[in-house]
Amino acid sequence: MLDKLGWTKDDARRFLERWEAMKQSAAEKGEEGAAARKRFNDAIHSLGLQPRGTELRHGGVTPDQPDTLRDAGRFAPPPDWAEPFRAYTRGISGADRQENEEKK
């Protein structure tokens, strides 16, 4: 791996030390810890790594692209259920509570 990266053992040691220091800083509390967590998470995200098992296989699903995203889980309820469904969604969203508080 070192040869593939063009690194020496010392380069790898320094790299690991920097990541460990970032990880420790991210574990701290307070504003400094929050800022360190953001930097650490941004650094992890920038690596472009994916959990194992998410790579494409023959016949696999393509990665989410804005033009291929669909909201398959939503559809209109039967007409008889439309009003109870709206009432339910308002209830779980807190919209009813918010409307009642505004009326007070």
> Which pLDDT tens digit goes with each residue over 37-85?
999 888 888 887 776 665 555 455 555 555 555 555 566 777 888 888 8
DSSP one-letter code for 28: S
* Predicted local distance difference test score (pLDDT) of residue 81: 81
Tokens linked to 47: 């690596």
- At residue 72, the pLDDT reads 53
Closest by alpha carbon to 38, among 22, 61, 54?
22
* Segment 10-45, tens digit of pLDDT: 999 999 999 899 999 999 999 999 999 999 888 888
Give the per-residue pLDDT at 20. 92
Q: What span, in angstroms and rounded, lies between the C-alpha atoms of 88 and 27?
A: 40
